[in-house]
Amino acid sequence: MNNYWLKRLLSSLLVIAVVLSLNFFLFRLMPGDPTSSLLDPRFSPEAKHELLKSYGLDKPLSQQFFIYVKQMLTFKFGISFMSQRPVWQELAERLPNTLLLLFPALLLSAVLGILLGVAAAKGRGGLVEKTVLLSGAISFSFPSFFVQLVLLLLLAHAFPIFPLRGSLSVPPPVGFWNLVTDKIWHMTLPVASLVLLGFGSWALYVRNLMVKALGEDFILLARAKGIRESRILWRHAFRTALPPIVTIFFLSLPGVISGAVITETVFSLHGIGKFLLDAVLGHDYPAAGAAFYLMSLVTVACNLLADVVYTFVDPRISFRRLR
Amino acid sequence: MLLAVSLLLPAQGKAAPLDKLRLPNIDELYFLIIKDNDAQLLALQGGQIDLLGDIARFSDIKSLSDDERVNLYLAEGYHAFYLGLNLRKSPWDRTELRQSLWEIVNRKQIVRDVFGGYALPLFSFLPPASPYTLSASAADFDIKAAKERLKQKGWRWSKKGVLICPGEADPLPKMKLLTPTAQVAPTTAEIAERICESMRSLGIPIETEPMDFSMMVARLDRRDFDAYVMAWELSRDPDSLYAFYHSSMDVPGGYNISGIRKPDLDEALESLKYASNEAEARVAAEKVQRLLYKYIPQVPIYSRYHIAALRREWKGAVASLYMTPDNTYSLLSLKHDSKRTFYWCLSEEPRNLNPLSAASAYEWQVLSIIYESLLAVDPFTLKDIPWLAKSWRLDTVTKGGKEKTRITFHIREDVKWQDGSPFSASDVKATIEFLKKFAIPRYFDLVKDVERVEATGNTITVTFSGKSYWYLHQIGGLPILPARVLSSLKDWRNLPEGHIIGTGPFSFSAYKPGEYVKLDKNELYWRKNIP
């Protein structure tokens, strides 16, 4: 392993250690405790104490920290305060829906946005660019709950093409392929809504990068050499714009597991976003700690992955030279 | 607008008498999980769900009241919204100022403007549906009377119209009223603004301080506040009075947030808490409330109705002035011409279907149909009615010079668990002893005074370490679990799905997280044997 990767690995471990510690202390520094949300006059102070005891919060902070670090490092995240079920089980139930919602949405938004951004840059000043800029700005600026509720009202209620809720019909269909089809049918509208909301920022960003790249001297030289316009566009201009696009894409990837609270709520999807929000608001330390820890691991991994991908997309970047 | 409310108030469904309820007509009961309010409404209107409870938004109520496909039900609930004051500090330690506050908040106007009339102005320290509520005869909004009272007690106003305490030279300092943010609780934030406006009109320099709810609760716990607004979901019994106003509850984690400490009130509250029978309890509850009207430790503002909507094709709902049809009795009596599958909306994930640790209302929406208690509540009178216990007796016995309550329940003989095994008094004994032995937090207060439980044949006798009529409701309302399930549990937090067995009219069938909970009709349900 060369020096660069060793340094990157060590800095990543440091980041994880910092996140791990912050996860523990920040939640405990927040006002209130897991019993704060129990506003019930039938619950006496002694009963609240019993509850804190059952959560292990009567132990000294150092002991709690030791237990927490051990749980995180061994990936045994303990029991959720709110549901009294293993945190792993809760996360495992939700992760498939979140991935099915956010990964296709990210991929489709990125692909659509990139294609439209390149097309806008190519047809600069023309109708295509104006259309892309307008649709991109609209997509970028509408609040997600509004777009999603309108889609729900139109395509699930007025014209019931898609289901109104969930990721599965009730009762569920029988047979593997029927289940797969049913899942796709349920996920289409939420994914489409996110693509509609997400492609705009990609399109505007890529268009800006491409406009800049197409104005460079090497493009002028390529044109002077008589290289085909499509080759100039994709092989020369787009390739120079690719590293920041790769960065944005890989930095967006951790968001795929963090969930989308509003989308999950509007479409009644069982995902990580709402779980995380409830965990933070309800002082569910094991659940919130585990979710943030996993997110930090994925973020660090995606950053490392982005570094690797740079070497493929940009020949100017080589780790050998850094050594 | 208030007229519209009164039109909705009588229960539309002519309720089936409780003694006629037998086996449900519903074969399969699905709790469909729909979290978004708009999606819930669309699902009800589109027929994907049959019953939607806890409808809170004024726009939804309006839209459903005009919809011919659904019946809208409205019931007085146990919700109560109060303006809380910190009596430990000046000027809220002055009784006359608090009495004047009572008169300067225009509750009727708030209810009209904020809820379009779909709420009740509150003039009592208990929720309107509680049988123990003593409503004030005191006048409503009367700013003149409020000012006059203060004048008579020596209060003055500065040139800028700010109140000056008797015997002091300076006007009142600026104060803050804590409220959740408008993003989280828009109606609460708006009501807080209106209350501040009313208080300023009396000369109290106060402004709202919106904040995150956890932060607000932490400030209240530290007693670091001037005033606050808070909504509570209380209960049929007046147990909130002791928690809110007894001096022993003015401790960290206690609910005497206002910090009232009055010996005569404490004494009355103790008489209420340790009343030996219902008659004594009623007298004590009335005495406590009379004292509260005198001291006004907090100002009641409004109470939200409980509102539910049911698809019109389902007939026979059990609904009353106190209960909308989202209850177990309705599930026993609802009937449809052709359908035998019923869809009921669950607004949140029931993350924990373990009756020993489940805490949220959504979890209990499901569990209360699977598990039953010794006693139930009559939806029309709110009185105790026999359920798993066919009769009971409450005695006060003297042992070692101390008065103790002893309750004897006679258990029904024809009840079976959903797996077919017979239900007996030993199951009740095992449940009470299990809850006590493991100090299970949710039940801690309910069983902590249990001294001894004896089961003989179909009789169960529970003896307590003290004397209180309320022990009857605490034990009578416990969900009863099978003794063999309890003895097989290694950890009470972990109840496997196969062990979700109750005596209720529906048994657990499946839970698909994020999608639904399915219950099946319990063909062994004991009510079918009632002649």
Q: Give residue-wise pLDDT tens across range B342-362.
A: 999 999 999 899 999 998 899
pTM of the model: 0.90
Alpha helices by DSSP H, A167-315: 176-214, 217-224, 229-231, 238-252, 255-258, 261-266, 272-281, 285-313
The Cβ of residue B69 has, within 10 Å, a number of other Cβ atoms equal to 13
Contact map slice: A 56-115 vs B, CB within 8 A: 79-80, 82-85, 90, 93-94, 97
How do residues A109-129 score in pLDDT, each as one tens digit?
A: 999 999 999 999 999 889 999
* pLDDT for the residue numbered B212: 87
How do residues B145-197 score in pLDDT, each as one tens digit?
A: 999 999 999 999 999 999 999 999 999 999 999 999 998 899 999 999 999 99
Nearest Cα of chain A lies from the Cα of B444 at a distance, in angstroms, of 6
* Predicted confidence band of residue A77 (pLDDT cuts 50, 70, 90): very high
How do residues A199-245 score in pLDDT, each as one tens digit?
A: 999 999 999 999 999 999 999 999 999 999 999 999 999 998 998 99
Q: In the predicted model, is pLDDT for residue B374 greater than 60? A: yes
* Predicted confidence band of residue B6 (pLDDT cuts 50, 70, 90): very low
Q: In the predicted model, is pLDDT for residue B19 greater than 90? A: no
- Give the separation between CA B104 and CA B249, rounded to whole angstroms: 29
Determine the residue type at B334: L
Nearest Cα of chain B lies from the Cα of A280 at a distance, in angstroms, of 10
* pLDDT for the residue numbered A323: 45
Q: Which stretch of DSSP H or E encloses residue A135?
A: helix A127-141
* Residue recorded with tokens 């597991």: A257
Q: How many CA atoms lie within 13 A of B418 on its CB side?
A: 23
CB contact under 8 A, B515 and A270: yes
Instruction: Using CA coordinates, name the residue in chain A closest to B348.
Output: A268
* pLDDT for the residue numbered A319: 64
Phi/psi at B512 (5° precision): -110, 100
Burial category of A274 from C-beta neighbours within 10 Å (exposed 0-12, middle 13-18, buried 19 and up): buried
Q: Mutual orientation of helices A127-141 and A176-214 as an angle, nearest 10°?
A: 120
Residues of chain A with Cβ-Cβ distance to B512 below 8 Å are: 168, 172
Nearest Cα of chain A lies from the Cα of B19 at a distance, in angstroms, of 31
Most confident of A28-32, A163-167, B219-223, B373-377: B373-377
Q: How far is CA B104 from CA A107, B99, B201, B301, B304, in A?
A: 59, 9, 8, 11, 21
Residues of chain B with Cβ-Cβ distance to A152 below 8 Å are: 38-39, 42
Cα dihedral B139/B140/B141/B145 (nearest 10): 10
Length of chain A (residues): 323
Please answer whether residues A114 and A245 qualify as being in contact, where contact means their C-beta atoms are separated by less than 8 angstroms: yes
Nearest Cα of chain B lies from the Cα of A208 at a distance, in angstroms, of 35
- Give the separation between CA A262 and CA A275, rounded to whole angstroms: 12
How do residues B435-478 score in pLDDT, each as one tens digit?
A: 999 999 999 999 999 999 999 999 999 999 999 999 999 999 99
| Residue among B251, B246, B298 nearest B269 (CA) | B246
A301 and chain B in contact, CB less than 8 A: no
From the list B39, B232, B514, the residue facing A39 with the nearest CB is B232
How do residues B233-248 score in pLDDT, each as one tens digit?
A: 999 999 999 999 999 9
* pLDDT for the residue numbered A282: 87
Nearest Cα of chain A lies from the Cα of B516 at a distance, in angstroms, of 8
Counting one residue from A and one from B, how many pairs have CB atoms under 8 Å apart?
152
Q: In the predicted model, is pLDDT for residue B417 greater than 90? A: yes
Q: In the predicted model, is pLDDT for residue B403 greater than 80? A: yes
Instruction: Using CA coordinates, name the residue in chain B closest to A86.
Output: B494
Nearest Cα of chain A lies from the Cα of B214 at a distance, in angstroms, of 6
- Give the separation between CA B457 and CA A170, rounded to whole angstroms: 44
Q: Which residue has better confidence, B135 or A271? A: A271
Burial category of A137 from C-beta neighbours within 10 Å (exposed 0-12, middle 13-18, buried 19 and up): middle
Residues of chain A with Cβ-Cβ distance to B45 below 8 Å are: 157
CB contact under 8 A, B34 and A274: no
CB contact under 8 A, B32 and A170: yes
Interface probe for A, chosen from B250, B360, B490, B515 (most Cβ of A below 10 Å), is: B515
- Retrieve residue A106's tokens: 């990210």
- Retrieve residue A132's tokens: 């892309």
* pLDDT for the residue numbered B490: 92
CB contact under 8 A, B214 and A90: no
Q: How far is CA A212 from CA A205, A215, B68, in A?
A: 11, 5, 60
Interface probe for B, chosen from A80, A84, A91 (most Cβ of B below 10 Å), is: A84
- Retrieve residue B370's tokens: 């699977």
Q: In the predicted model, is pLDDT for residue B5 greater than 80? A: no
- Give the separation between CA B309 and CA B13, rounded to whole angstroms: 12
CB contact under 8 A, B253 and A45: yes
Collapsing DSSP to helix, strand or coil, B530 comes out as coil
- Give the separation between CA B97 and CA B105, rounded to whole angstroms: 13
| Residue among B236, B528, B485 nearest B371 (CA) | B485
Q: In the predicted model, is pLDDT for residue B295 greater than 90? A: yes
Please answer whether residues B321 and B75 qualify as being in contact, where contact means their C-beta atoms are separated by less than 8 angstroms: yes
Q: Which residue has better confidence, A277 or B275? A: B275
Determine the residue type at B458: N
* Predicted confidence band of residue A40 (pLDDT cuts 50, 70, 90): confident
Residues of chain A with Cβ-Cβ distance to B298 below 8 Å are: none
From the list B215, B351, B516, the residue facing A85 with the nearest CB is B351
Poorest-pLDDT segment among A183-187, B54-58, B262-266, B327-331: B54-58
Mean pLDDT within B200-206: 97
* Predicted confidence band of residue B497 (pLDDT cuts 50, 70, 90): very high
Most confident of B8-12, B136-140, B391-395: B391-395
* pLDDT for the residue numbered B11: 43
From the list A84, A160, A165, the residue facing B357 with the nearest CB is A84
Interface probe for B, chosen from A33, A54, A82, A83 (most Cβ of B below 10 Å), is: A83
